[in-house]
Structure formats: C-alpha cells, structure tokens
Structure 1
Amino acid sequence: MKMRTRQSTAAGRALRAAAAAGIAAVLLSGCAAPSGAADTDAADTDTDAAAAGDGPRVAIAYEGGVLVVDGETLEVIADLPSEEFVRLNPAGDDRHVVVTTSKGFQFLDMDAAELTDLVVPAEAAAHVVRHAGRTVLYDDATSDTTIFDTAELAEMDGTLPAAEVVPGVEAHHGVSVVLEDGTLVTTVGDATARTGIRATDAEGAEIAANADCPGVHGEGAAKDEALVFGCENGVLVYDDGEITKLTSPDAYGRIGNAYASEDSPLVVMDYNDDPDAEGYLLSDIVLVDTEAKTLQKVALPDGVEYTWRGVVRGPSGDALMIGSDGWLHVIDPATGAVTASHDAIEAWEGPAEWQQPHPAIAVAGDVVYVTDAANREIVALDAAGGEEIARAGLPETPNEIAVVE
C-alpha cells in the first residue's frame, strides 16, 4: 500500500420453522467447501457460477471464519476460514467488506467470495467509516487514521490503492471522519481516558475542539455533514466548523452508537443510564436533531429491548430495530414512537459480553436482514411491510453481518 502522509402465534412459528428447515436442507447441501479444501469439478463450477452472480451479498462472521451468503436466495456461497473473532464493515465500494483481524484490516471481495491477501496492517484494527467518497480506517494502538478513496477500492486488482495516513497523537479507542472539504474530525484521548473530539482542516490546522465528552465513542453523519459523537454525558455535534454539546438528561447517560442517515438531520442513538447494569440489553433510545441541536430520551415500549448491533436506518429513513422479543420494530426518528412491529425471529436473551453472538441487522435497498444466533438462521424481510422474503439455516452460529449491494 502506498501512503501519503498527513411474537407470532404458535402455529405460525411452527410453519415458519418447518419452512426454514426445508430451505436449510437445500442450501446446506450446496455450500462451497472451505477455502483450501479439496473440491470436485462440479463443486468448482457451482462456486464459480455463484461467485459471478449479481445482487446483494451478506457477509456473516462466526467463530473461526466468515460466510458469504447470496442476498436473494440466502444460499451460502462460501465458507472462509479466519480468526476466532473478527468484525465486519462494508468498505463502501459495493464490492468489499473490511474484516478486522489481529493483523489489521483485511479486504473480503464479495464479488469473488474470497478473503484477499490485501491487508492494511494495524496493531488494533478498529472503526471503519464511510463518508464523502472516502473509507477511513482507525488503529486504536496508534490512533493513526488511514484514508482511502472509496472508488479506488472497487478497482483493486491485487494491490491496495494509495492512502493518506494521518498520524495519531495519543493512542486510544477512537474514530475519525473526513468531510467533503477534507476536514478531519477525530476523537481525542489517551491510554487512561477518552475526552472529546478535534477538527482540523485539510492542511492540519485546528478548526474546533471540545473536551467535554467523557468516554467518546462512535460517530454518525447526518444531513449537511452534521456529525454526532456519543459521550457518557451526552452528545457532541460538529456542524459547519462548530461543536455543540447536548447533555444527557441523567447524570450518567452513556451514548455510544449513532444510527444516522445522510438524508436526515435526525439521528437515533443508543442510551444507557445505569453504569452498573449487567449484560448489554438497552430499553431507551436518544433522538438527536442536528439542526435544532436538541436531544430527547425516549423509553421503548415494555418488553422491547435491544443491543447496539440491532438497529439500522431503513430506506424510508425510519429506524429499524430487532428487539429481544424477536420482532422487527419500526421507529419514527422524530418522535421515537414504534409505528409498526413485524414478527422476525424467536425471542432471545441478551449477551453477557458484547462480543458474544446475538442477533444482528443490516439493510440493502428494500430488504432487511436479521440473524438468529440461537437457531443459526438468517431471515430477509421487506423493509416497507415487514413480509418475510426468505429464511435459511446456517452452518455456523452467526455473529456480525455486513451487506454489499
């Protein structure tokens, strides 16, 4: 790599389970052999044909590897061995998924359904952000920010394109975003604490900074490039060269993940007001209006809980949440009201640790994908009406997912 410095009825569930079992039997019989295994000529032909297909594809991490799944049929196209625990993020180029491993950021070619040898070395590969035609990688061990032109990633053929690397100041678990005009907004912290954000222009001169954001984590880009960052006591909003602090309604009100749409000034964020809570299920959300500069805490209906892995923004702009009750809930980002709920998977228990397998959600176009870790399934639903499109069993317990259209 070159671098430039700088709940349904019981009968319904039974029918659904029977259908899933039938689909699973068909799909698993056609799974590609793991990379490096001896294949028959027929298997090679099937795999090549599947790899050449069009339409969305889903990457699913499991303990020891990554599955590549056809987004329409939910057929497992490839089973790619990797490490015990990896994380997945779309690269933003409609072709690659970034797999974070102990070696760094490895590119998974979803068209070819193979883990490439292209790796951006990192001692602690962390956040991957896509915005303004750039894909930004962050190394927690150094706080270095690596910036790629996203379009160039799509054209890779055995070699990584040139990247700009902005050296970190003090290492911490952080994230960076690059705006249209080259402004870099990055978190600030050190080995003992994370404290805020700092914005610099394309030449590296400071534009703005704010240190009133303990535990700063996550980011989201809303309409007109307004950025939000979560804190343990609220949110920081970077907008047109200025940083605004929005305070949580509770003394401890941790906000760690943002579910934003670049077409809307409204951002849905997760919320936890109990620093001693066990497990990772949450029952409140926060709504941030980046134009009005407001923050509102909303309690979800009784029985609806979620984790950070279970929320996305849908094609209509609503937030889509897979609740621990097994229903896909549609949430109005302006009010926090649940406007519809669709039966998706069985009810599930929250994880004791965030890395443990539990349901995840992703969107491609008008389709919502939800994994069921307990039952080794994936289901595709229509984003508008919630109708089930397809359902299939998986050969491994799914953890994180990422979709490429």
Structure 2
Amino acid sequence: MVSGVVMMPVFGISVAQAADETRQAWRLFVTNQQEGGVTVVDLEKKAVIDRFDTAGYVTHLVPSESGKTLAAVQMDHDAVAVIDSGIEVFSHGDHADIDIKDVTLLPVGINGKRPVHAVPHDGAFYMFFDGEGVAKVFDEKDLLAGSSAHGDVKATAPHHGVVVPMGDYYLISEPNLAVETKPGSLPPRLGLKVVDPAGKQVGDIHTCTGLHGEAYSAGIVAFGCKEGVITAQLSGNDAPAIKMLSYGDDMPNGRVGHLAGGKAMQFFLGDYGADKLVVIEPTEDAPFRLVDLPVRYVHFALDPAQVTIAYVFTEDGYLHAVDVLDGKIVRSQQITKPYSKDGHWRDPRPRIAVAGDVIAVTDPREHLVRLVDAKSFADKGEITVEGLPFNIVAVGGSGLSH
C-alpha cells in the first residue's frame, strides 16, 4: 500500500524580501504495471515531465519523510531504484522556503534478495530484504550524493519481515522457524522483538501472528496481527514498551493487515477484512471503531492537511471521504468504472494520493490519472499516462522561492 507527502505550508512572509516569490509545486510519481518504470507528472501543468525505466514492476513506491527521495522497490527483480523528487521544502518557523529543480534517477545500485518493505525514518530508508533476513539502512544524504553505502540490521532468519527503528532500539519481526516450510518458501511471521543498539534482544518475543502492516503516529508504532494490533512506545531511555490491543469478542471475524498513521492526531486507520476499515485509538479502553463500507475496499489514504479525513476507493468505482472522529462516510462520488478485487493482488487497480487540495486517483484501464477536489470531489481534470498507471505518490508543497 502507498500515500502523499505534504510539506510545511507558508504561515507568513513578513521577513521575506520583496523580490521573493511564493510558489507551489506538486509532482505525481506513477508506476507502470504494464512494462515497469515510473512516470513523473507536473500537477500544475497537468503534464508528464519525465519517465524512468526500472528493471521490473515497481511493487512498492515509498517516499522518504522529507519527500526529497522515493524508493522504487522491485520485489521480483531484487532491486530498488531511488529517485530524487527535485522538490525540497525548508521550514523557517514563520515561513517556508521551497527549492524546485529537475527530477532525476539517482546513480545508486541497490540490490538484494527480494526487497519488499522500505520504512522511511529519521532521514534514512530501512529496506528489508526478505530473502536475506536483513534490513539495509541507507542515509538519504548518501543516496542524494550517489552513494549506496549502508548499515545492516539483521533479523533471525530470512522471512517476509520489517525493521523499524525506535529511539536507540529496533523493532524487528520474528519468523516462526518451528514450522516446516516448502522448498523455496519463507517461514511465517511469529511476532515482534526488541533489539538494543548492540544487537541484543531485550525481553521476550511478543506474539503477533502473521505480522503485517506498519505505521507511526505521534510516538507510537503499530503493527497488524491476527490477534489484534500490537503497539510500541518509548518511555524515557528505556526499551520500547510493547502492548497488544486484542480484537476481543465484540469485533467480527477479521484482522488488520494494512495501517496508516495520523500525523497531527494520535490514531491509526487500518483495513479489517475486505469491506471494513477500523479507526484505532491506541490509548483508549475501547481502541477499535469499525467503518462499514458498501463493498470491498481497493485502497485508502489519509489526508495530511485535513487531519480528520481519510479517503477510501471501493471496487464499485466510488471514492469516499471518511471522518475518522466518528467513523462515518461523509462524502461519496463515482470516479471510475468498477474494479473487482478478484484476481491477482498485483493486477492494476486504482490507487490514491493526496496533493494539497487535490486527490489523484489512478485509472489503469483508461490509462489515466483522475483529479478531484479534496473537499467537494468535483472533477479537476485528468492526465493521460502511458501503460497501466498503478501505484502513485504525491510530493510537493508551497514556500518562498529565493
């Protein structure tokens, strides 16, 4: 699952020089599920401005925290390409500066056995290679300088895993090595462990069967499990405290497998089965609130600016706005023709990205990126993109251009 990156808006320009210009820039990065590659769209011009080839299909397109770089993960081709977005926004307290330049494919070679999860954190990417059982840590400054130097954080064994840094510690998925696996297959996930800076495990392994989905919100990291949602939170200099939020008897059958974390408010939004979302408030006694959808969901994303709003695309072709405070759909509009979720998980279906006051939705069957107003869902036009546009990321913001 992939979302947009929003930069710091301009709050004032009192200290700026008269010749300074306030500018806004948004770029959409769109993967092609037909031939591979990433297409770059200038949202203001509504035009394709560049395209980069990749070794294969981009299964995950992940922006860094700053939005300066994106990791184009090609799981089946053992490669990760890194793109310089060409947009950088600097906060100066009472205003922001924006630097806009050409987008480029960085000359770094990142290879390894079956990369999947790339976690952006504190100016670095933690890229987990399932076939090696290791997260390779790439500093964004090194990548921008053309270097693929990296550190390693090792898991117990190869598996479909993830490593998330937290303070001086690491949260690492743990495989179940007691289960016999078929040749060429990886072991299932058993749970989560905490590792200190020296690589020593702290405490027991915490059960989180089938651990999948990871997100950060206001000091808490959460992962989806079959038993519930497991969270980690720092307390001073101590190791992260781990807590399981069990689904309990009041929840219907289902589980969380994908998560997004609120930025200005502490909450998580997750899937729950095929036709429900769940709002998770980890510090509440009753942390789960279900959102019933009319049909199965295809993709969802949070709005970084309207912090109480999430968007979900359902297989009937409708886009919905969900108020996470009351867990209700507040707006719906048909955007495309229906897209069934039946078939392979990588069959191209619409994906959502939020670019300021615009929502961009890929429509692979029509070779389009459709644009709608984030508040009214009014049609804001469309952009033709070659191939089958699939994953999409929005990078941009506004600021003073000196």
TM-score normalised to structure 2 length = 0.77
Q: Does the alignment pair 1:234 with 2:238?
A: no
For residues 369 and 244 of structure 1, the distance between their equivalents in structure 2, rounded to whole angstroms, comes to 36
Q: What letter is aligned with 2:302?
A: V
Distance 1:290 1:146, change over 3 A: same
Match of 1:3 in 2: none
Match of 1:133 in 2: 123
Q: CA deviation at 1:262?
A: 3.0
For residues 173 and 193 of structure 1, the distance between their equivalents in structure 2, rounded to whole angstroms, comes to 8
- Aligned to 1:211, what secondary structure does the other structure show? strand
Q: Residue deviations 1:15-55, cap 9 Å, x none?
A: xxxxxxxxxxxxxxxxxxxxxxxxxxxxxxxxxxxxxx972
For residues 131 and 253 of structure 2, the distance between their equivalents in structure 1, rounded to whole angstroms, comes to 27
Q: Does the alignment pair 1:341 with 2:336?
A: no
For residues 188 and 367 of structure 1, the distance between their equivalents in structure 2, rounded to whole angstroms, comes to 40
Residue number among 164, 167, 175 corresponding to 1:189 in the alignment: 175
Q: Does the 8 Å CA contact 1:60/1:398 hold for their aligned counterparts? A: yes
Match of 1:158 in 2: 146
Match of 1:24 in 2: none
Higher strand share: 2
Residue number among 213, 222, 226 corresponding to 1:218 in the alignment: 213
- Aligned to 1:374, what secondary structure does the other structure show? helix
For residues 122 and 178 of structure 1, the distance between their equivalents in structure 2, rounded to whole angstroms, comes to 21
Q: What letter is aligned with 2:228?
A: G
Q: Does the alignment pair 1:59 with 2:45?
A: no
Q: Does the alignment pair 1:72 with 2:44?
A: yes
Q: CA deviation at 1:209?
A: 4.5
For residues 352 and 374 of structure 1, the distance between their equivalents in structure 2, rounded to whole angstroms, comes to 15
Match of 2:378 in 1: 387
Matched ranges for 1:141-290 at <5 A: 141-150=131-140, 152=141, 156-160=144-148, 162-179=149-166, 181-190=167-176, 191-223=186-218, 225-240=219-234, 241-249=240-248, 253-272=254-273, 282-290=274-282
For residues 305 and 271 of structure 1, the distance between their equivalents in structure 2, rounded to whole angstroms, comes to 10
Higher helix share: 1
For residues 178 and 167 of structure 1, the distance between their equivalents in structure 2, rounded to whole angstroms, comes to 12
Matched ranges for 1:1-16 at <5 A: none
Match of 1:360 in 2: 351
Q: CA deviation at 1:110?
A: 3.1
Distance 1:205 1:135, change over 3 A: same
For residues 149 and 54 of structure 1, the distance between their equivalents in structure 2, rounded to whole angstroms, comes to 27
Aligned residues: 337
Q: CA deviation at 1:378?
A: 0.6
Q: In angstroms, what is the RMSD of aligned CA positions?
A: 2.4
For residues 140 and 60 of structure 1, the distance between their equivalents in structure 2, rounded to whole angstroms, comes to 25
Q: Does the 8 Å CA contact 2:321/2:331 hold for their aligned counterparts? A: yes
Q: CA deviation at 1:227?
A: 0.9
For residues 324 and 233 of structure 1, the distance between their equivalents in structure 2, rounded to whole angstroms, comes to 27
- Aligned to 2:390, what secondary structure does the other structure show? coil
- Aligned to 1:316, what secondary structure does the other structure show? coil
For residues 148 and 80 of structure 1, the distance between their equivalents in structure 2, rounded to whole angstroms, comes to 21
For residues 78 and 394 of structure 1, the distance between their equivalents in structure 2, rounded to whole angstroms, comes to 11
Q: CA deviation at 1:251?
A: 8.0
For residues 133 and 115 of structure 1, the distance between their equivalents in structure 2, rounded to whole angstroms, comes to 19
Q: What letter is aligned with 1:192?
A: P
TM-score normalised to structure 1 length = 0.76
Q: Unaligned regions of 5+ residues in structure 2, if any? A: 1-22, 87-101, 177-185, 235-239, 397-402
Match of 1:16 in 2: none
Match of 1:332 in 2: 323
Match of 2:393 in 1: 402
- Aligned to 1:93, what secondary structure does the other structure show? coil
Residue number among 77, 89, 104 corresponding to 2:79 in the alignment: 104
